[in-house]
Structure 1
């Protein structure tokens, strides 16, 4: 079947589209992403076709190609969606006037809730990134580090405010990576952790661990 021959545009990340309205592109792509994740999980990446993706998302095959150029683009957009959700959740916690450990605790809680909601997205990202073209692998790794950078930036901003001691750059980096990994650990180990903890209990306990790393600075 011939694809729509409209002129292709590229978004900031190099994903092709034929639609000029960026808000509509974001909306439709998220619809495609959320509809597609379980197809990749259920059928496997290689056995999932663009026709299956279009049907699941409620598009014709021609309409699908107005928003993405390939199945690989959809997989990349899954990874991008995770980063967008984390960034949104953390930014919302920064809109409050609180500083110190309370703000950090809220940001961690929101991040862990994103990992709970997007469990399949995260698992898929790690299982099938190897099948992406090199340009998308690089972007996925950048997005992955970008999640850590969100927390490094937050910790840098909160260092020395409220009840948080002044943190050196190494501690900020290590704690940022810890937060990122512990959130994703819920996705990887939820099959067993959820038998012992709710996501809120998990978040509370892991936050205590993270704050312990931070407040250890007061003793050193």
Structure 2
């Protein structure tokens, strides 16, 4: 899926990247507080530390800001997962470490992920497809780890089962933030991780019987 292009009148790519990073940081703070629709571009510019005129040198519409925020959130989460996940080892230990790392990242980015899903529907359909494509890239990381585990004899799983389990891991990580009003009253993130790993590994091991 091709990446949406946010037009800028400024031609210096490094400066564009710096200004947009400032813009995203300010916008995330405002979206947490007020939501996308109640936040104005003037407020975003002020939070980013420059004028409304400068803001429009780097974007064209308010929707562009939301797209940049959504893209930045997934880039940050995916970068952290890339650093933490060993997709090549294919052992029980690598799978549990991967799940624990993912849940930890979801805990750290829970506010941003909530913003992403609350506000993403305001984006054009092509931009939504691109953002969801990034989600599938992260699911694919878990598919790779599970496939390596199968190849190494850790589990007996079909390709369809691997796909389903990978999506389940991804959703369980998101649930920590989506249902935090309930889950975080019951568990610490470490307790929640242990609980989900027990469910996951007990279910997978049943295939070996």
- TM-score, normalising length: structure 1: 0.80
- Answer whether contact 2:89 2:148 (CA < 8 A) is retained: no
- Answer whether contact 1:83 1:147 (CA < 8 A) is retained: no
- Answer whether contact 1:101 1:164 (CA < 8 A) is retained: yes
Higher relative contact order, structure no. (Cα contacts within 8 Å, ≥ 6 residues apart): 2
The verdict on how the C-alpha distance between 1:80 and 1:26 changes in structure 2, with shifts beyond 3 A counting, is same
For residues 33 and 192 of structure 1, the distance between their equivalents in structure 2, rounded to whole angstroms, comes to 29
1:121 Cα offset (Å): 1.5
> Which segment drifts farther, 59-68 or 202-211?
59-68
Between Structure 1 and Structure 2, the one with more helix by share is 2
- TM-score, normalising length: structure 2: 0.84
Per the alignment, residue 181 of structure 1 pairs with 171
Task: Return 5+ residue gaps in structure 2 as ranges.
Answer: none
> Which segment drifts farther, 19-28 or 170-179?
19-28
1:70 Cα offset (Å): 2.5
For residues 204 and 17 of structure 2, the distance between their equivalents in structure 1, rounded to whole angstroms, comes to 37
1:206 Cα offset (Å): 0.9
For residues 32 and 160 of structure 1, the distance between their equivalents in structure 2, rounded to whole angstroms, comes to 45
Per the alignment, residue 49 of structure 1 pairs with 40
The verdict on how the C-alpha distance between 1:57 and 1:175 changes in structure 2, with shifts beyond 3 A counting, is same
> Which segment drifts farther, 200-209 or 74-83?
74-83
Task: Return 5+ residue gaps in structure 1 as ranges.
Answer: 1-10
Q: Once superposed, which parts of structure 1, at least 4 consecutive aligned residues long, lie more than 6 Å away?
A: none
Per the alignment, residue 124 of structure 1 pairs with 115
